[in-house]
Structure 1
Amino acid sequence: MNSKHTVEERFLRYVQIDTTADPNSTTFPSSMIQKDLGKVLVEELKAIGIKDAYMDEWGYVFGTIPSNTEKEVPTICFCSHMDTAPDCSGTHIKPIVHRNWDGSPIVLPDDSSQVITVEQHPYLRSKIGDDIITASGLTLLGADDKAGVAIIMDLAKQLTDNPSIKHGDIRILFTPDEEIGRGVDKLDMNKLNADYGYTLDGGPLGEIEDETFSADAVKVTIHGISAHPGYAKGKMINAIKIASEFVHELPKDKWSPETTENREGFVHPTSIEGSLEKATVSFIIRDHDTKKLQEYEATLEGLIQRVIEQHPGTRYEFEVTEQYRNMKEVLKDLPFVTDYAVQAMKNAGITPKESIIRGGTDGSRLSFMGLPCPNIFTGEMAIHSKHEYVSVQDMEKAVSTLVELVQIWEQHEK
């Protein structure tokens, strides 16, 4: 290819635009600052030559790299999210490039207590000699998922600069609010108009993921009995105390994120709030086997029933909300979508690593919306934390993988 990689330069600019999602907001996107990055991306896509690039009212950015082949080829979408997680500050991010990193501890200058070491982050052992980008110690970096955004933007540049690379129509999609589970809530699939897709939101070099958790949310509302505390004997039943008893009944050696790994699921209380009269405990329920969600939920409801029975006159409500489902349920019938990505990595000189996600991506929901959508590596690591980092070389290899991937799809007509 004649075009020089632009992924590092783009990434360094994008992460400095604050796009933190707001889980407490009722707007869409949840924070209007996400559109600030969307506007930049639209202008840059147009400058590259993507004539139809635009951002819709909801903050989704669309664009098309037109087919340059006479073959009838499926339309492929590459997708990344623009928002960053609210778990750690994403305001005033100062990215730092550690050139030709020598393996020594990386002390982040704005908070010297933040030190990135290979002992804490074993993946870094394989990155000695790479150019490592970190934040400055006060914020996350935003590689999740601006690494993916920069990779797709660099791909667009590579393909428009090199018409000898044959490909079908390629749709670009950048989404808001993935980090708070709303990433495709307002997405119009007719606007997207693609046959198959790939999210660029994975971690280590060579990782390809086509299996995620299935996920539900549960809200347990407990209704106590209020009374004046000076005259409460035999009358008051405190909802906060019942909620505490309920949480205490959760298993200590299983069911939780801190006691599970691989394909093991969990029941995770994420918040507890309330007053004497009413208290609410919120949970996320996760497992790779969708059927197990109902088993967890039945057991959880059994716990609150037993606790409530000990407090006559009180009651509870148990509300389940579906969040997303395991993309494998769709992709198992379309194995070639993952296989092509595996072959693309091999063609690019990368060893593929098929793995599972103990979480979800936009691709989880997109797969069930008619766009089968595995997840490809970007190099983003230690996400949602001040230790977040990414290797420039990993991002460049992701671009090379996508260049190979579009050519593989071009060889397979509809």
Structure 2
Amino acid sequence: MPSLQTVISCLSDYDPDALPVAQASRIIGEVVEPVRGTEQLALRAALGRVLAADVVSTLDVPAHDNAAMDGYAFAGSELAAGGEIALAVAGSAFAGGTGCAPIAPGTAARIMTGAIMPAGCDTVIPQEFVQVQGERIRFDAGAVRAGDNRRLRGEDLAVGQPALAAGRILRPADLGLLASLGVAEVKVRRRLRVAFFSTGDELRSIGEPLDPGCVYDSNRYTLHGMLRRLDVDLLDMGVVRDDPEALEAAFRSACENADAVITSGGVSVGEADYTKRIMARLGDVTFWKIAMRPGRPMAFGRIASHGREALLFGLPGNPVAVMVTFYHFVRAALHRQMGAQVRPLPLMRVRSAQPIRKKPGRTEYQRGILAQAADGSWRVSLTGQQGSGVLRSMSEANCFIVLGHEQGMVGAGDEVEVMLFDGLM
């Protein structure tokens, strides 16, 4: 596992006072490695877990050519005559059965969805397109093409074909796919353990009285919610006061009991911010001033205590900055640490409904509301005040407006990139 300093030493343009977002993401990606340890889980218990080994199909799915709908099976060559086709019904095939006898030219078989295609048949005409006259059927040759409505053997998966790759976060469709192969248990990565706490003498937990100058701690609740979406084991360590001994004890305890430690507050430049000094004493940590808004102060690295190591993410104290830095740095890092495949979050280009102020030289994540205009096009507008302490701007938004490092002012009607919250939050 490369040290943070080794990775940074390879970057000739590294600037700890103005680190671009892309470079920060690259450094984190090169430092973080998956945790070791796997477990075998029953299929129903594996939803949301990270697959630890490739799954290769041991079956053809489906196992036979079969009908994709209820109707009549026949040879597609019968359609060559054109016009009205008349066929004698010479058998029946039902789902779960062994099929019926081979079908001779000029005949068809009544067939149900999922039934094995009879020998001699490669096409199914849906029953609603057929006129039944005793033991014969009639239909227009133009109602179907040769090969229609037939599922081929191995069409979904063939023997020896990769079904799912290691690193996949298992979704409901994946569980169904594994079940179709007869897989009852899967090997998954062990759950990641994440400890988190807030720092600051001004913070109070819900239920405590608010003294003058104090605020309720909202960051632990947003962090808890964001982490729950990642299906990790959580250790909520509460609020730690601005005291060097208390902070060091918290860091050591978190490090000894978790794979990753997330803090909020204490990484700016205030005289009472002891957090940075303790982080540096316990590990290999570089403190960044990232060229972004919100979320400029952020620390990343590793800390160690009594032979145990953990990744460390020191997030800002302002509520919106906590969420922005989590989604744009921590989320991908934890996925990587979980052993999951990490892909960039998708962006879409839409028009801005209003001017947006922006200075080149930093990446900004404005909170927006994406909506469809009367002409059917998509437009995005700001949620209002964009201060890093205005948590309502996140609550009301349904997307980030992502304004790139070199981008300047945005005019009304200009195209901007947005990142949707659906699937992210």
- TM-score, normalized by the shorter chain, greater than 0.5: no
TM-score normalised by the shorter chain: which range applies?
under 0.3
After TM superposition, the score normalised by the length of structure 1 is 0.21
After TM superposition, the score normalised by the length of structure 2 is 0.20
Query: Per residue, is there more helix in 1 or in 2?
Result: 1
Higher relative contact order, chain-length normalized (CA < 8 Å, sep 6+): 1
* Bigger Rg, which one: 2
